[in-house]
Chains A and B, each alone.
Chain A
Amino acid sequence: MSIEELVKVENLRKYFPFKKRIFSKKVRYIKAVDGVSLSIKKGETLALVGETGSGKTTTGRTILRLYEPTGGKIYFGGQDITKMPKKKFQKIRMQMQMIYQDPYSSLNPRMSILNIIAEPLRELMVKNIEDRVLELLESVGLRREHMYKYPDEISGGQQQRVAIARALAVNPKFIVLDEPTSALDVSVQAQILNLLENLQKEKNFTYLFISHDLSVVRYISHRVAIMYLGKIMEIGMVEQIFEKSQHPYTRILLESIPVPDPKDRKRKKLRLPGEIPSPLNPPSGCPFHTRCPYAKDICSQKEPGYVEVESGHLVKCHFAEMIE
């Protein structure tokens, strides 16, 4: 494994036990993450895209071991952290932070912004805490006056900035961004995305950007992984996914991006019929065959492997390179 790769995940699985009937002994599993392999280079942003229920958030949380993985391996900086004892892991865990979808619930409503950001600093025995907090606030575009406010006294965008400042306080290397902008207004979204991008350039952060919003993904990420039912369907560089996607699911997702052009309404689009199947009872063969407009017999019988259509561009489809 090259040192360039900060985070590497091999065949990661996370199953949640699910008992349907009270008297049935057989435990069934929700396969939220089912064999995900990916790696993220230092200073890179990998976007994880998928519908609700595709397992993208679970993947992010399992990498941080907020959920204990059912199987597979997680490496951070070349170290296997999958089964690392809690105490030893704690030091590494500090270098991995998470930004949440709802900024309000990620801040303690009873603590002032100063205390929220100062808490990890006190733990790290930092001196001149107040100066350091101010520095951090300024680095996320806030001012001294925000220091003495409480989370419910500032806007959603400012709350998210505070959450980012707190994450910066522990000098992380890797940040999982779990839909960091989807709770915010569009105008504020752009500001937060710019902030995240500038911080990355400045401090060489590595991001895992979880989102369902492809237009945001295109803007911020270097590489994109498309998830469906706990599996990665297609992964590649941003241009490869957006310009040369080979998987029917990716195609349909791209078609569904709204275009601000009234004439566009007349264009015939590929649509996605039905809903994502239950991860409790996933379809046989290719997980996408139940909704795929190109599905053939083989799709319901055999699960496709990954085809490397270009360097670094993997597609999980029997008919990769054949779809127009």
Chain B
Amino acid sequence: MKKDEVIRVLKIMFRNKLSLLGIIIILVLMLMAIFAPFLAPYPDQARGEPNLEEKLQPPSSKHLFGTDYMGRDVLSRVIYGARISLLVAIAVVSLGLLIGIPLGLLAGFKGGVVDTIIMRVTDIFLSFPPLLLALLISVTLGRGLENTIIALAVSWWPWYTRLIRGMAISIKEKPYVEVAKSMGISSWRIIARHILPNAISPVVVQGTMDMGSAILEASALSFLGLGVQPPTADWGLMVSQGKGYLLNFWWYPTFPGLAIFITVLAFNLVGDTLREILDPRLRRRFL
């Protein structure tokens, strides 16, 4: 993307109230994740140290979000949980893009047998419901953060491949690609300089939106006991452990649940606005 276009997009994003809210939330989450040891009132408890004398305390000035069944400060654990969630979001989406974009470009640009092979493979992946596939891989690989990321990324990339293949097919028919070919520009150059820059916008939008979905799915895996393992502070895991306490000790599953909700919402707000700006049909509104 060109430099002034990036600036223009950012300007619009900051002017739009909803996307501004989304950006602020994401920035706050990032700061929270980076400075978790300084922000969390009880960093040791966030890392898993039990504090059994104060278990299941309601929110108070000492424990703003209350404490869990081991007496650990829920606020501290929610702050530390941001680290896991953002890591998962960024890792899953980047891995997905890293696999999905080159394959999609290749399939769309080369066509023929290459296209058929790549697209049939993605079809196999897409024929599974995404969470089910991630679950399956998770079970096969075993528990843990890295395996969760791998499992989600594997079920994620085919969507990007499909998206970018469609764009590549339409762009390779453009006269400027035809001209480049006629001037002896190599296929790699054409893909890198002509196809990719013009095909990337919808994928950027999808990727932003997917950050939220990745957090949600990682939480779902943790909730089912397949993702991050205790005593790591993870939002999905906390909701899972706290669900039995919901009626009597509402704060325990509610605050991590809210954290998931707000984070997913923030990524969606940003992604939505980004789509409206980058979609040429909706562009006029912002010019």
Of A96, A105, A167, A170, the contact of B176 (CB 8 Å cutoff) = A105
Verify if B55 is at the interface (C-beta below 8 Å from A).
no
Q: A108: nearest residue on chain B (CB-CB)?
A: B176
Neighbouring B residues of A119 by C-beta, 8 Å: 180, 183, 185, 193
Min CB distance A85 to B, Å, is 15
Chain A residues closer than 8 Å to B174, beta-carbon distance: 105-106
Q: Given A97, A110, A163, A167, which contacts B1 in the complex, CB threshold below 8 Å?
A: A110
A120 touches B175 (CB 8 A): no
A111 contacts B185, C-beta separation under 8 Å:
no
Interface bits A166-197 vs B (CB < 8 Å: 1, else 0): 11011000000000000000000000000000
Residues of B near A97 (CB, < 8 A) are 179, 182
Q: Indicate if the CB atoms of B193 and A123 lie closer than 8 Å.
A: no
B182:A106 contact, CB within 8 angstroms: no
A108 touches B183 (CB 8 A): no
| A90 in complex: contacting residue of B1, B178, B184, CB < 8 Å | B184
Q: Is the interface of B mostly helix, strand, loop or mixed?
A: helix
A166 and B197 within 8 A (CB): no
- A100 CA / B179 CA spacing, docked (Å): 10
Within the complex, the shortest CB–CB distance from A187 to chain B, in Å, comes to: 24
Tell me whether A106 and B176 are in contact in the complex, defined as CB-CB below 8 angstroms, given that A119-B193, A150-B2 are known contacts: yes
With a cutoff of 8 Å between Cβ atoms, the chain B residues found around residue A108 in the complex are 176, 193-194, 197-198
For A109, give the chain B residue with the smallest CB separation: B198
Q: Contacts A108-B194, A111-B193; is A123 near B183 (CB within 8 Å)? A: yes
Which residue of the partner chain, among A102, A109, A169, contacts B175 with CB atoms under 8 Å?
A: A102
Chain B 179-205 per-residue mask, 1 if CB under 8 angstroms from chain A, else 0: 110111100000001100110000000
Chain A count of residues within 8 A CB distance of the other chain = 27
Question: Total contacts A to B, CB within 8 angstroms?
Answer: 54
Do B183 and A170 have beta carbons less than 8 Å apart? Answer: yes
Is there contact, CB below 8 Å, between A123 and B175? no
Which residues of B1-48 are within 8 A (CB) of A? 1-2
> In the complex the two chains form, is A105's CB within 8 Å of B184's CB?
no
* Mask of A82-103 contacts with B, CB within 8 angstroms, 1/0: 0000000010011011101010
CB distance from B215 to the nearest CB of A (A): 31
Is A98 touching B198 in the complex (CB atoms < 8 A)?
no
A107 at interface (Cβ–Cβ under 8 A)?
A: yes
Is A241 in contact with chain B by the CB < 8 A criterion?
no
The CA of A105 and the CA of B180, in the complex, are separated in Å by 13
Whether A98 and B182, one on each chain, are in contact in the complex, defined by CB atoms closer than 8 angstroms, is yes
List A contacts of B194 (CB < 8 A).
108
Cα A111 to Cα B5 in complex, Å, equals 12
Q: Are A110 and B175 in contact (CB-based, < 8 A)?
A: no
Say if the beta carbon of A27 comes within 8 Å of chain B.
no
The chain A residue with its CB closest to the CB of B196 is A110
What is the bound-complex CA distance between A321 and B38, given in angstroms? Answer: 98
Question: Contacting B179 at CB < 8 Å: which of A90, A106, A110, A123?
Answer: A106
Assess A98 versus B1: contact at CB under 8 Å? Given A110-B198, A111-B193, A120-B185: no
Tell yes or no: A210 within 8 A of B by CB: no
Q: List B contacts of A237 (CB < 8 A).
A: none
Shortest distance between the CB of B216 and any CB in chain A (Å):
33
Closest to A178 in B: B175
Assembly CA distance A138 to B2 (angstroms): 25
A105/B197 in contact, CB under 8 A: no
Residues of A within 8 A of B179 (CB): 97-98, 106, 163, 166-167
CA distance A64 to B2 in the complex (A): 33
Q: Give the Cβ gap from A176 to chain B, nearest Cβ, in Å.
A: 11
Kindly list chain A residues whose C-beta atoms are within 8 Å of the C-beta of B193. 108, 111, 119
B183 in contact with A94 (CB, 8 Å) = yes
Contact of B2 among A100, A105, A110, A166 (CB under 8 A): A110
Does A66 lie at the interface of the complex (its beta carbon under 8 Å from any beta carbon of B)? yes
Across-interface contacts of B197 in A (CB, < 8 A): 108, 110-111
Q: Mark B209-253, 1 if CB is under 8 A from A, else 0.
A: 000000000000000000000000000000000000000000000
Q: Which residues of B contact A106 (CB under 8 A)?
A: 174-176, 179
The 8 Å CB contact of B182, one of A93, A107, A163, is: A93
Cross-chain contact B178 with A66 (CB below 8 angstroms): yes
Find out whether the CB atom of B182 lies under 8 angstroms from the CB atom of A94.
yes
A90: which B residues are within 8 A, CB to CB? 184
Whole-angstrom CA separation of A111 from B174 in the bound complex: 14
User: How far is it, in angstroms, between the C-alpha of A170 and the C-alpha of B1 when the chains are bound?
Assistant: 27
Which 3 A/B pairs are nearest by Cβ-Cβ distance? A106-B175, A110-B197, A120-B183
Extra contacts, 20 of them, besides A108-B198, A120-B183 (Cβ < 8 A), are A94-B183, A94-B184, A97-B182, A98-B182, A105-B176, A106-B175, A106-B176, A107-B176, A108-B176, A108-B193, A108-B194, A109-B198, A119-B185, A119-B193, A123-B183, A123-B184, A123-B185, A150-B2, A166-B179, A167-B179
Interface pairs (16), CB distance under 8 Å: A66-B178, A97-B179, A97-B182, A98-B179, A100-B175, A107-B176, A108-B197, A108-B198, A109-B198, A110-B198, A119-B183, A120-B184, A120-B185, A163-B179, A167-B179, A169-B183
